[in-house]
């Protein structure tokens, strides 16, 4: 049972907000049934007061989307109301807190928890330095009209927030005077003015203010980029990992502002506010309340750029790296729609669905292409009857069907993959599966092709599409082909089958849920290409792949025979055939090197 702040944060990160129900509001927990309406100055005052109070009180969390009930004069978290994701602008909240609370609390995290109708937002305020006092502009009795020469100190007391009384503020100031001496009236006025500044024109905020260790570096970068028309700072600088960032106003009124971005090891860049918002919005779809920039990363300069550079508001492409998603590119279509895609890369990482649909099957050889599609809108998808019918009509003419037919034609036989039947994975509004079987003379399966697509489940958060070609029984296939034909596959045939299976899984199958081009990513999409021997010999040992595939073009293997080879490709699933073929060859060489075929080269495939 959740009992403390650590447990509450763990439950929120695990998307189990219902675990909080029954808890009392405390020194470290506050609940709001609805979002802060930030267009209302009173709500702006409230959120800054709430967050600053937690910062002054050792940390805490504000959960938005849970209603409370009064029980013995205490507020108890009672019911999940749920929020529309559009109701909370996490980036606007972060920016507001940086501008209104002085100093800006470090490490504040705005995230989401739960799903569908039980989605809640939360603001995690970690414990701050014990010798720091957080202040906000003092309210003047009229909400939204703070004076520019006063400050107020919000404090947390049990389940409520109050303003620190003037007597206690006086005592704190006196303690500071005793420790460091009486400041001059001019210096004190300047300190107060900076503390309550809303960063308007002439506010006196410095470039780099808030990051004393990097202020000189940021000022130098600002001076290099002044030709872009940068205006005054619109708030204090802050950090994102190793990067230093600061909002800037445009020097021309009415024009969008800028974000100054310094990343260690890269030249400084200034990004137009509309493009910056696109970057943040892209990363906001990452699950688990992850900071958007921590997901997608920060702008990477074009190749050959070693001086400061500018990303203007009319930019059509931005490269990003340094986030958990890896290197990627944001591109803007002719219609003004931005879309992120990963830059291609290879690994040996296998996803949780690598063996999906293989239970109870033991083919002699399986050639598989599996595509992981982590769409942000996956929970709203469904497989309609009309699209399922359309797929049934397309499968006999699909790339994977053509690859199966090619294998028999190259051996002098005409065994088309024309008849597809439902199964073995089942068909529903959440999954589809079809199989084509080429039988041997005795009626038993010789070669099979199968496809499947599954929407997310409680165990798997991504859409998974898969296409397999299986040599079920080489002897039965040989009998169906006729005398004199070898059933061992050439490496060129394996490439052709994997290419066709990958194209089918990446482009044909996803169409059953609608238009994939209109969906956004919540994580990088990836594909897995696999060759596996799954039927044990009489001694119970799986045979090596070289008994069923001619692996000679890969060269010698220092590691001995292997029953399985696999490689993962992180790349956009949709691409032209020439690009897919190039990536396939490069991926196979990457795989071969990793599994001991050190002499493998792309030119040999």
pLDDT score for 103: 80
Question: pLDDT band for position 195 (50/70/90)?
Answer: very low
Nearest C-alpha neighbor of 583 from the set 400, 362, 346, 311: 346
Of 112, 25, 62, nearest to 376 by C-alpha is: 112
Structure tokens that stand for 601 in this block: 């080269």
Distance CA 402, CA 436 (A): 12
For residue 73, pLDDT beyond 70: yes
CA–CA distance from 17 to each of 7, 21, 80, 158 (Å)? 11, 8, 8, 22
Mapping DSSP to helix (H, G, I), strand (E, B) and coil, where does residue 384 land? Answer: coil
Q: What is the pLDDT of residues 18-35, one digit of tens each?
A: 999 999 999 999 999 999
CA distances from 386 to 60, 382, 418, 422, 511 (A): 50, 11, 20, 15, 11
Peptide bond into 107 cis (omega under 30): no
pLDDT, tens digit, 9 for 90 and up, residues 426-436? 677 788 999 99
* Model confidence pLDDT, tens digit, residues 213-243: 999 999 999 998 888 788 888 878 888 888 9
Q: How many residues does the chain have?
A: 605
CA dist., res. 375 & res. 464, Å (int): 10
pLDDT mean over 403-431 = 87
Residue 362's nearest CA partner among 535, 111, 529, 181 is: 535
In 161-247, alpha helices (H): 166-180, 185-196, 215-224
Q: Mean pLDDT for the chain?
A: 86
Q: What are the strands, taking DSSP E only, across 386-525?
A: 421-422, 431-439, 445-454, 463-471, 489-490
Least confident of 152-166, 354-368, 476-490: 152-166
Place of tokens 């030709």: 227
What's the token pair of residue 582? Answer: 């190039």
β-sheet bridge partners, residue 564: 532
Residue in the block written with tokens 């990343």: 263
Least confident segment among 75-84, 218-227, 234-243, 332-341 = 234-243
Domain annotation for the chain: domains and CATH numbers: 5-196 (3.30.950.30), 215-341 (no CATH), 347-604 (no CATH)
């Amino acid at each position: 049972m959740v009992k403390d702040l650590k447990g509450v944060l763990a439950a929120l990160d695990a998307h189990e907000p219902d675990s909080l129900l029954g808890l009392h509001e405390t020194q470290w927990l506050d609940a709001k049934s609805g979002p802060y309406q930030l267009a209302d100055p009173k709500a702006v005052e409230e959120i800054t007061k709430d967050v600053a109070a937690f910062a002054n009180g050792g940390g805490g969390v504000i959960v938005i989307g849970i209603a409370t009930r009064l029980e013995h004069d205490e507020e108890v978290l009672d019911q999940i109301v749920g929020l529309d994701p559009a109701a909370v602008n996490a980036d606007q909240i972060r920016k507001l807190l940086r501008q209104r609370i002085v100093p800006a609390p470090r490490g504040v995290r705005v995230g989401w928890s739960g799903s569908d109708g039980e989605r809640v937002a939360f603001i995690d305020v970690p414990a701050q330095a014990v010798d720091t006092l957080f202040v906000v502009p003092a309210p003047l009795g009229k909400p939204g009209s703070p004076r520019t020469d006063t400050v107020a100190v919000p404090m947390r007391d049990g389940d409520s927030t109050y303003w620190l009384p003037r007597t206690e503020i006086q005592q704190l100031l006196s303690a500071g005077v005793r420790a460091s001496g009486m400041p001059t009236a001019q210096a004190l006025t300047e300190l107060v003015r900076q503390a309550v500044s809303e960063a308007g024109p002439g506010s006196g905020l410095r470039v780099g203010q808030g990051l004393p260790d990097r202020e000189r570096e940021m000022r130098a970068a600002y001076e290099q980029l002044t030709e872009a028309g940068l205006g005054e700072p619109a708030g204090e600088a802050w950090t994102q990992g190793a990067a230093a960032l600061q909002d800037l106003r445009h020097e021309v009124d009415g024009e969008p502002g800028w974000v100054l971005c310094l990343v260690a090891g890269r030249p400084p860049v200034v990004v137009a506010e509309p493009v910056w918002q696109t970057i943040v919005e892209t990363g906001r779809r990452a699950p688990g309340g992850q900071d958007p920039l921590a997901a997608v990363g920060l702008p990477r300069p074009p190749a050959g750029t070693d001086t400061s550079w500018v990303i203007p508001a009319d930019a059509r492409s931005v490269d990003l790296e340094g986030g958990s998603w890896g290197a990627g590119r944001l591109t803007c279509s002719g219609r003004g729609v931005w879309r992120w895609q990963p830059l291609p890369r290879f690994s040996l990482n296998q996803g949780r669905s690598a063996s999906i649909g293989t239970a109870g099957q033991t083919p002699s050889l399986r050639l598989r292409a599996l595509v992981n599609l982590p769409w942000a809108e996956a929970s709203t998808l469904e497989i309609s009857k009309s699209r399922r019918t359309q797929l049934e009509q397309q499968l006999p003419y699909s790339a994977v069907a053509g690859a199966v037919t090619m294998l028999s034609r190259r051996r002098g036989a005409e065994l088309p993959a024309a008849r597809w039947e439902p199964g073995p994975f089942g068909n529903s509004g959440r999954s589809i599966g079809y199989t084509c079987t080429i039988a041997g003379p005795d009626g038993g399966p010789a070669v099979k092709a199968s496809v499947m697509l599954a929407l997310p489940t409680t165990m798997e958060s991504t859409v998974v599409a898969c296409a397999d070609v299986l040599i079920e029984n080489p002897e039965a296939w040989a009998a169906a082909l006729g005398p004199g034909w070898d059933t061992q596959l050439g490496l060129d045939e394996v490439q052709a089958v994997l290419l066709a299976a990958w194209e089918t899984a990446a482009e044909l199958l996803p169409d059953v849920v609608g238009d994939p081009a209109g969906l956004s990513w919540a994580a990088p999409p990836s594909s897995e290409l696999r060759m596996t021997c799954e039927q044990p010999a009489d001694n119970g040992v799986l045979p090596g792949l070289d008994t069923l595939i001619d692996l000679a073009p890969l060269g010698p293997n220092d590691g001995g025979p292997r029953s399985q080879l696999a490689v993962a490709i992180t790349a956009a699933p949709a691409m032209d055939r020439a690009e897919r073929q190039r990536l396939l060859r490069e991926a196979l060489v990457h795989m071969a090197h990793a599994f001991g075929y050190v002499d493998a080269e792309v030119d040999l495939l």
